[in-house]
Structure 1
């Protein structure tokens, strides 16, 4: 995006960073990326929101910059959700809309479940809400095959593996998850830059290992929050061709009673996992309707 400035947020020993653009007095759209990604996948959508008068804030998830890596820090969706609440506090007095993709969506749901009053709306990209995950049992065999990469991330060798050959494994995941998207080296360069740092590779893969550390309070909190109602207006989007999370999970798992202020589900044709980068115009159209 053009004319973005970088702002910092101190969280314990970590220094978190975000790109900010748009009018200082505009309503805030907090756009959160996932794995393996960076805030730059939001460039086109962010530009459109700025033109519509929004102040666009695009944070890096903790662990995706060297300054946000510390051996004693936690890297999981619950803790990332607390970071989003800390970012929200930087814009006191302004309405803040939360938009998350992939891990950013999971962290976004945790942030809303923790404090719904902090947010104007929530938008989820590529990740379904989990309150009724048991309803997706017919889809689970296929989803388990699609999610096999998560087992790779459990290995202590995972950080080194994702760095090999200029992050060839991450390029492969992009291709598998977004079939038909002819992404360019320019599209992938921010990911290559981030994951070429061993500290980032270590921290970013820990999100997956944290899924199974039920002895940790943050892991238990994440699972508990995933069952809570989300008391803000919610938009859930998925790409029909998503090779990471089946689009059908949305229809199977969404229970309207879990969304007291309503939920709208939209499927984007000819689109895979990275909706905001593949089909920014379609995503922007849905967001502008939802955020209005």
Structure 2
């Protein structure tokens, strides 16, 4: 198995904790985890890709693990512009001009943002659940009652009770989300605990609360990121080759959510629904991700 190097990389905003595998001269692949999760989500994907000769980068997103903000005055934003900015800045810090970007949930959003706004940086895109750029302008439009129920945590995090609840019960809430979102995945206590330590990050609560409030226009964005958010508000198309993976058993975002997303992709696009797989896609279907990345690399 390829050795793992753990590094801390400085960008303009963060010191990003990052795991590196594989030869530095290999084609770059960046694997981006979601919420509530961390780099451990990609263990079953990163190792095979490194063994296939790829340079594999697995960062901990802002608010997770050992990733830290450089300055106290920087807003602890969880908005989509922040995630995309962080990814591009990390690529700059690593001197990676182009990479295959793979992510789901928050990580899928970061990957979609970079692929849409800076397509020259993306060889290809593996995106969990399709086009992940948020339509914030339309966020006040109610979803179906069933979807509103699935989004209970959004509304909980809009309240100060929800902020306090996440601060006091972060492991309990996050484990409940794992169980609800991936009902067919039988993970054990040790698997959860290996990741739960990342939720002790001092910025975890503020970044999460801001993410869910901002997407519903209940919190202002970071002024420094306003130009990126303005571009995202136009719902830019993604022109790079893309493969969408969607779990058939996803308990928060059913496969119907990504039906019709092809309209957001102007380059080659394929959607694959994975039977028996829930929301935590790389944990539950690592082989599908390895295959998708290698296909985009022409392997």
Q: Same fold (TM over 0.5)?
A: yes
CA distance 1:182–1:220, shift in 2 (3 Å): farther
Is the contact between residue 163 and residue 195 of structure 1 (CA under 8 Å) also seen in structure 2?
no
User: Mapping of 1:98-109 within 5 angstroms?
Assistant: 98-109=101-112
1:126-150 Cα deviation digits (max 9, x unpaired): 354458998xx99744322212211
Alignment correspondent of 2:285: 279
Alignment correspondent of 1:21: 21
Q: How many residues of Structure 1 are paired with residues of Structure 2 in the alignment?
A: 288
Alignment correspondent of 2:89: 86
Q: Which deviates more, 96-105 or 222-231?
A: 222-231
SS of the aligned residue for 1:107 comes to helix
SS of the aligned residue for 2:111 comes to helix
SS of the aligned residue for 1:254 comes to helix
User: Mapping of 1:8-47 within 5 angstroms?
Assistant: 8-12=8-12, 14-47=14-47
CA distance 1:13–1:237, shift in 2 (3 Å): closer
Is the contact between residue 130 and residue 261 of structure 2 (CA under 8 Å) also seen in structure 1?
no
Alignment correspondent of 2:243: 235
Among residues 198, 205, 216, which one is paired with 1:201 in the alignment?
205
In structure 2, C-alpha distance between the alignment counterparts of 1:93 and 1:12, rounded to whole Å: 16
Residue 222 in structure 1 maps to residue 229 in structure 2: yes
Among residues 244, 254, 264, which one is paired with 2:252 in the alignment?
244
In structure 1, C-alpha distance between the alignment counterparts of 2:133 and 2:79, rounded to whole Å: 16
After TM superposition, give the deviation of residue 84 of structure 1 in Å.
0.6
After TM superposition, give the deviation of residue 45 of structure 1 in Å.
0.7
In structure 1, C-alpha distance between the alignment counterparts of 2:219 and 2:161, rounded to whole Å: 21
Is the contact between residue 129 and residue 258 of structure 2 (CA under 8 Å) also seen in structure 1?
no
After TM superposition, give the deviation of residue 156 of structure 1 in Å.
3.2
After TM superposition, give the deviation of residue 122 of structure 1 in Å.
1.2
In structure 2, C-alpha distance between the alignment counterparts of 1:259 and 1:279, rounded to whole Å: 24
In structure 1, C-alpha distance between the alignment counterparts of 2:96 and 2:174, rounded to whole Å: 39
Unmatched segments (≥5 aa) in structure 1: none
In structure 2, C-alpha distance between the alignment counterparts of 1:146 and 1:4, rounded to whole Å: 37
In structure 1, C-alpha distance between the alignment counterparts of 2:155 and 2:169, rounded to whole Å: 21
In structure 1, C-alpha distance between the alignment counterparts of 2:96 and 2:206, rounded to whole Å: 37
1:238-264 Cα deviation digits (max 9, x unpaired): 100001111111113331xx3222111
CA-atom RMSD in angstroms: 2.7
Alignment correspondent of 1:162: 166
Q: Which deviates more, 110-119 or 24-33?
A: 110-119
In structure 2, C-alpha distance between the alignment counterparts of 1:234 and 1:187, rounded to whole Å: 30
Unmatched segments (≥5 aa) in structure 2: none
Structure 1 stretches of 4+ moved >6 Å: 131-134
In structure 1, C-alpha distance between the alignment counterparts of 2:31 and 2:6, rounded to whole Å: 14
Is the contact between residue 45 and residue 280 of structure 1 (CA under 8 Å) also seen in structure 2?
yes
In structure 2, C-alpha distance between the alignment counterparts of 1:221 and 1:213, rounded to whole Å: 19
Among residues 173, 190, 194, which one is paired with 1:190 in the alignment?
194
